[in-house]
Amino acid sequence: NAGVMQNPRHLVRRRGQEARLRCSPMKGHSHVYWYRQLPEEGLKFMVYLQKENIIDESGMPKERFSAEFPKEGPSILRIQQVVRGDSAAYFCASSPSRATGELFFGEGSRLTVL
Amino acid sequence: GDSVTQMEGPVTLSEEAFLTINCTYTATGYPSLFWYVQYPGEGLQLLLKATKADDKGSNKGFEATYRKETTSFHLEKGSVQVSDSAVYFCALVYYGGSQGNLIFGKGTKLSVKP
């Protein structure tokens, strides 16, 4: 499967625990975007990364959330000390270049915080 | 800032009915416009796009025309099928400002009954 791979597909955490979501972009894509989809709402941009660099994190909450895209390995979205309001679907998307708008999305990781 | 407004859903139609989902946008420049579709349990897929005024994007029987004078990009299909049941998102990207991030509308859920 050459598509965008996200794991885990489903993740359950208790309040205060950490959640780590992984995203492997399509082969040849060096641009990764993370979006959050809350129930009954659209997708909200969180962060845009290229290899080893955060380009735009204007949509990331200032606390508890971080993202990385190392030289080797998948992009990771990390949520520390999760709260119930973090329950959502988190989608990763990749593209071969910037600013085209044509993104290839993964199937999402659904986080449930108990 | 840039934004996208879609008609509220859900929209329920009978098979072979005509579909229109309205979308208007606000942007300071000349964005490219997109329709993405999300089938149940999946990530988003690009359905069609238009990059400049009067362009018509089309795919799988769906069409949308970039109307600069009305800042609109309404999605249409002449005869819907049950398999078209999904959530449809209108989106824009403005190359000049948002680093290529897509700005999405809230989505419109379409249910097609046999």
Which residues have C-beta within 8 Å of that of residue B96, sequence separation ≥ 6?
B29
Which DSSP helix (H) or strand (E) runs through B38? strand B32-38
Which residues have C-beta within 8 Å of that of residue B107, sequence separation ≥ 6?
A41, A42, B6, B9, B38, B87, B88, B89
A107: three-class secondary structure by DSSP: coil
A·B CB contacts under 8 A = 66
Q: How far is B81 from chain A (nearest CA, A)?
A: 23
Contact B100 A48 (CB under 8 A): yes
Q: Which of B44, B89, B93 sits opposite A99 (nearest CB)?
A: B93
From CA A94, how far away is CA A86, in angstroms rounded? 23
From CA A67, how far away is CA A57, in angstroms rounded? 9
pLDDT tens for chain A, 114 residues: list them: 578 999 999 999 999 999 999 999 999 899 999 999 987 778 899 999 998 899 889 889 999 999 999 988 999 999 999 999 999 999 999 998 876 778 999 999 999 999
More confident residue, B13 or A59: B13
pLDDT digits over B70-108, tens only?
Answer: 999 999 999 999 999 999 999 998 665 555 678 899 999
From CA A89, how far away is CA A91, in angstroms rounded? 6
From CA B98, how far away is CA B114, in angstroms rounded? 41
Nearest to A109 by CA among A29, A36, A17: A36
Contact B103 A95 (CB under 8 A): no
Contact B32 A101 (CB under 8 A): yes
Q: How far is A46 from chain B (nearest CA, A)?
A: 10
- The tokens describing A65, both together, are 């959330």
